[in-house]
Amino acid sequence: MNYRLKFVETDGIETISDKTWLIEPISIKAKEIVREKNLILRLRGLQTYHLKKMNYGQPCTDCFDEIMSMQVDGNCTTCYNTRFIGGYYSPVSTKAFMTQTPDINTINRFGEFNPGQVIYSISAYPELF
Ligand SMILES: [Zn+2]
């Protein structure tokens, strides 16, 4: 997972880093940004669980017709419509922030957001997928 970091000095001068990998040695400023974000997430973040959909595994025989080569039950509780038994890997727990959905189109520093959209922010660790 790589990142670009944007530094804004107190005098307004902005610097955007080259793509960087957090597992490589990073600047002390970047480390401090990550440390502060992780601290805030740990103290005030919502407990969330991320589920990764299976894309291989034992094929589901309850909803998938091999002769027709298609799913015949759209509400399968064996594979949760992934076509693989179990459907999802074990959840990964992490803390996150999520903004409220705007009532009208909104433009902020992250871009344009429409009603129904949110900003979902998590730490780089644990690495989710
Ligand atoms: Zn199924």
Q: 32 alpha carbon to ligand 1 midpoint, in Å?
A: 46
CB 124 within 8 A of CB 2: no
Which SS3 state, helix, strand or coil, does residue 40 take?
A: helix
Q: If we measure between CA atoms, which residue out of 79, 48, 49, 47 comes closest to residue 63?
A: 79
Q: Cα(3) to centroid of ligand 1, in Å?
A: 37
CA of 67 to the centre of ligand 1 (A): 15
DSSP collapsed to 3 states, 106-126: EEECCEEECCCCCCEEECCCC
Domain positions in the chain: 53-88
Residue with tokens 């992490």: 94
* CA dist., res. 5 & res. 15, Å (int): 8
Q: What is the pLDDT of residues 102-114, one digit of tens each?
A: 888 888 777 788 8
As a whole-number percent, the residues of the chain with pLDDT over 70 amount to 85
Looking at per-residue confidence, does 40 or 118 come out higher?
Answer: 40
Tell whether pTM > 0.85: no
Of 66-75, 78-87, 111-120, highest mean pLDDT: 78-87
